[in-house]
Structure 1
């Protein structure tokens, strides 16, 4: 028997989910229904309030995400929702509580089983869509800034894609830490970045490396680069002595045909080579799931970091830009919008009205 605060009605007997059937255009996503799952031992049934469209899903639909599961599967890297049932061995007192969870896949469903140990409480009064934008993005930004690059007040950093999901959070966390921020973005986002205190640079205009060097003649203390490709060389060259390059993606090769692994392996090789040079600079690839082999340590680290980020959101120190709120059954529209590069913040999927 499961613990629940309500008896399932006929409407509750099925779950709506979005399935990625293979390498398809966004319109190839399939909206399906199936019997609602019963939470197993150590699990809860979470009623989704918000789930995100991240860069991972953009890669997965192209078959380009490094360790994605075989098709078909339900995408959805993270989720915020309310516990409606608990499985055997789980405290029934969790029912009715709002939690966030990192999943990697499975979040694009209106109800889904989640391992209870992976739940992270969301403070009262926070909009679920805003909280959702800070699950994977917030943990990623916090850890890259404070655990990987270890920035300090008075330093200067460069954030590529400063208007994006991770980038916009990185910018704010860096500014809160007393760090000067240079951010690349298209001109339409420059006014908003200046209002925050960021030095914006147009990444599309010619001579990007020279213009970035002009903004930081002595170099920068850290670069956060999700682009990869040939431009990663300029990111490394912009570092001041003692600086850190934190690479966390290969967006430049998102649409390049061929192996999903090759661009990543080439990037790993380049970063490793730079670390062998006597240049007093560090080059790291950030992987959110690193250390997952020690599950308890991974969970503790993720919980600690996300709680800090959500507390900043709750007290108004941090904002969570939601680019759009789109119902789950319009996931194709949401994915297309997220891939357009025209929005600031994160596209969020919400329950079907």
Structure 2
């Protein structure tokens, strides 16, 4: 371990994937309350696709190391941290910094990965799993027998969301391109072709009284359609603006527009609710509560993976040095499952 070297991927500015840079350096030391994680797996998510375009609404200034989450083993522990953590496999949500061979995190942000899960299996469930679990159970508070609509049901978050919903006894309508329909049917999902079908009309046919929840990552016009598809007492959970990924102009505006709409809809005298889900919400107000919820929810997701209720396939595994290729593959929309980077 003594001669290990830090390798990290740097996003220098608004560049094509090939513009990512590989930087080498000294493995960082753990400060008080911190651990150094030797990364075993980190993911390529939609956030990095937005960040390289300068379109992620609260990304740090360039240059920076992207990488929203990671799984690895604790290499060293800082002062005040249980030294017994060394060698344990943990997961962490970091927003940026994960695309590196060694990552320093606050020990309180490291969640232990249960035995029986590989680093790659655990990695597929971190960002996507927490997002899906919290939207389903903390925001929409779904109950068995309800019907929900999941946009992008074969995507990273969507595929975990539909499986967690089915495990909770919920009926699921999912939008996806035709090539994913068979695999969705195998999971008990009623597929809708978002390219060929009039999605709102088709959903009304399938759920004439409306749906109990809609999970919408598209933003833009889709959010309005989603709101109109809700049954009385239903909940809209918007969690992104994927439809504006390639737009120019303000990166905050698409999100502010959704926030404005949800505020307005919630102010209206009706029984439906709208939320804009942000995985980091509440952290500034109470870091301890935020961490406790994150730990509890990720532990639930890992348990669901171990029970076989959630399978999050790995589409491809590439070394950190091939991050550009991994990002291009993720953006091509030609693969199903998570693209994972390893050291």
Q: Which residue of 2 aligns with 1:250?
A: 241
Q: Which residue of 1 aligns with 2:267?
A: 276
Equivalent residues of 1:131, 1:320 under 8 A apart:
no
Q: Which residue of 2 aligns with 1:42?
A: 33
Q: Deviations over 1:109-131 (max 9, x none)?
A: 01111111111000112111111
How many residue pairs end up in the alignment? 342
SS in 2 for 1:221: strand
Measure the CA separation in 2 of the matches of 1:205 and 1:117.
47
Aligned-residue CA RMSD in angstroms? Answer: 1.0
Measure the CA separation in 1 of the matches of 2:260 and 2:235.
17
SS in 2 for 1:163: coil
Measure the CA separation in 2 of the matches of 1:152 and 1:320.
23
Measure the CA separation in 2 of the matches of 1:206 and 1:320.
27
Match for residue 316 of structure 2 among 315, 324, 338:
324
Match for residue 187 of structure 1 among 178, 194, 206:
178
Measure the CA separation in 2 of the matches of 1:244 and 1:154.
15
Q: CA deviation at 1:206?
A: 4.3
Q: Which residue of 2 aligns with 1:154?
A: 145
Q: Which residue of 2 aligns with 1:3?
A: none
SS in 2 for 1:104: coil
The residue correspondences of 1:189-268 to structure 2 (distance < 5 A) are 189-268=180-259
Which aligned runs of 4 or more in structure 1 are off by greater than 3 angstroms? none
Alignment of 1:57 with 2:37, yes or no, is no
Q: Which residue of 2 aligns with 1:300?
A: 292
Unaligned segments of structure 1, at least 5 residues:
1-5
Match for residue 80 of structure 1 among 71, 76, 95:
71
SS in 1 for 2:62: coil
Equivalent residues of 2:216, 2:222 under 8 A apart:
no
Q: CA deviation at 1:66?
A: 1.1
Q: Which residue of 1 aligns with 2:57?
A: 66
Equivalent residues of 1:228, 1:252 under 8 A apart:
yes
In the superposition, the TM-score normalised over structure 1's length comes to 0.95
Match for residue 163 of structure 1 among 135, 141, 154:
154
Unaligned segments of structure 2, at least 5 residues:
none
Measure the CA separation in 1 of the matches of 2:151 and 2:312.
18
Measure the CA separation in 1 of the matches of 2:147 and 2:88.
40
| Greater displacement, 255-264 / 201-210 | 201-210
